[in-house]
């Protein structure tokens, strides 16, 4: 069994060492660790070599991560390697990540296994608002993992943070689509279209850095949503995409219903003429059930919850506002996709 770890890196001199070391410390070690040096103007290549990793320098790559991956993978023979661990340069792995992930490939139908999506501890000095954005994402990533367990045989995306791929399946899928800005999601849809399984492994833990600047966060989420919508529009209705298309339809229906219920709830609670606020037992029941479900999932899937994190959960309002922001970003992404605006990285 031959396993290679491949890390595309663009100006990652500050974080690439910890990523390489987390691979070198694996209980099941990859035979090769290759850092793809993509349009770097810093010391990424020298740092990678210092950490005893191999390097591959891209040439005239204009297609970001997908292009970097493809330039290297096109040089790999069909039988040189069995499995590829593809991961971001700002990600670190638990020591047993490869060991627990590789077990899934005993099922020949499995094309890829993706890790648990954790966030690294916040480093350096940050203001209150930046810390607040970080905590919201910390909770969000854990809840995302809980949803992936509930849809074990239909995870939405084999994310680029850290995932094991069967090489022959990746070759059959045609490698990465260089025109899609969410190349990992597009590849996932192709795997499904070909009839392969893609599965999560929550014991395969990985932690990545997240943006704490509000504008960077919004741009990241618009990119993710826009890329996903573009991929579904391009591939159309097939056995790999139909569930995701139906989820978009269902999600929009639910948003409309929830907006209607919210307006009716506000109009019921607040009597403008009498300046009174009215409560109903059903509303209280919904809030209690929501909190119970939230607390159960967070305790099970979010690591290192602190008092300030729990304050965000129990106060409800911050996550409600964050949810509305994400909904707004989704609709902005719909418009950008339909209008075919420029795809910004």
The pLDDT, as a whole number, for residue 316 is 84
pTM of the predicted structure, to 2 decimals: 0.91
For 126-147, the pLDDT digits (tens) are: 999 999 999 999 999 988 877 7
Which pLDDT tens digit goes with each residue over 325-335? Answer: 999 999 999 99
Number of other CB atoms surrounding residue 53 within 10 Å: 23
DSSP 281-338: HHHHHHHHHHHHHHHHHHHHH-SS--HHHHHHHHH-HHHHHHHHHHHHHHHHHHHHHH
Residue 317, both tokens = 């309002």
- State residue 124's pLDDT score: 85
Tell me which fold the domain 3-211 belongs to: Spore Coat Polysaccharide Biosynthesis Protein SpsA; Chain A (3.90.550)
Q: Give tens-digit pLDDT for 260-316.
A: 777 766 666 665 555 555 566 666 777 788 888 888 888 888 888 999 999 999 888
Ranges of each domain in the chain: 3-211, 244-339
For residues 109 and 196, the answer to whether their CB atoms sit within 8 Å is yes
Bridge-based pairing state of the strands 276-277 and 110-119: unpaired
Identify the weakest region by mean pLDDT among 120-134, 164-178, 246-260, 261-275.
Answer: 261-275
- Write the CA distances from 88 to 42, 67, 92, 249, integer angstroms: 17, 14, 9, 31
Query: Does residue 120 surpass a pLDDT of 90?
Result: yes
Residue 7 DSSP class = E
What does the pLDDT look like over 12-31, one tens digit per residue? 999 999 999 999 999 999 99
Tokens coding 202? 């929550």
Mean pLDDT, residues 39-46: 96
Sign, CA torsion 104/107/113/118: negative
Which residues share a beta bridge with 85?
Answer: 5, 164
């Amino acid at each position: 069994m031959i396993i290679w770890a491949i890390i595309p890196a663009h100006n990652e001199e500050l974080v690439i060492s910890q990523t390489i070391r987390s691979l070198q410390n694996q209980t099941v070690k990859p035979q090769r660790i290759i850092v793809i040096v993509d349009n770097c103007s810093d010391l990424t290549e020298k740092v990678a070599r210092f950490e005893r990793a191999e390097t591959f320098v891209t040439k005239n790559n204009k297609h970001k991560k997908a292009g970097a991956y493809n330039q290297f993978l096109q040089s790999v023979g069909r039988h040189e390697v069995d499995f590829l661990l593809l991961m971001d340069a700002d990600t670190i792995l638990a020591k047993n990540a490869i060991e627990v992930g590789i077990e899934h490939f005993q099922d020949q139908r499995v094309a890829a296994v993706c890790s648990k999506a954790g966030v690294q501890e916040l480093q350096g000095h940050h203001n209150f608002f930046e810390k607040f954005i970080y905590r919201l994402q910390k909770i969000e990533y854990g809840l995302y993992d809980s949803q992936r367990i509930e849809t074990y045989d239909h995870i939405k995306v084999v994310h680029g943070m850290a995932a094991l791929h069967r090489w022959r399946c990746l070759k059959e899928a045609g490698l990465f689509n260089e025109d899609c800005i969410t190349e990992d999601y597009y590849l996932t849809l192709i795997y499904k279209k070909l009839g392969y399984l893609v599965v999560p492994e929550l014991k395969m833990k990985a932690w990545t850095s997240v943006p704490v600047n509000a504008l960077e966060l919004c741009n990241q989420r618009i990119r993710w949503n826009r890329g996903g919508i573009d991929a579904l529009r391009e591939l159309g209705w097939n056995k790999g995409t139909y569930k995701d298309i139906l989820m978009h339809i269902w999600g929009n229906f639910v948003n409309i219903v929830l907006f209607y219920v919210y307006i009716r709830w506000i109009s019921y609670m607040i009597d403008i003429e009498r300046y009174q606020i009215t409560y109903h037992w059903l509303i209280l029941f919904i809030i209690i059930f929501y909190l119970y479900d939230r607390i159960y999932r967070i305790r099970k899937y979010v690591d290192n919850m602190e008092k300030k994190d729990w304050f965000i959960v129990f106060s409800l309002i911050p996550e409600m506002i964050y949810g509305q922001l994400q909904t707004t970003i989704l609709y902005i992404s719909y418009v950008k996709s339909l209008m075919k605006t420029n795809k910004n990285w």
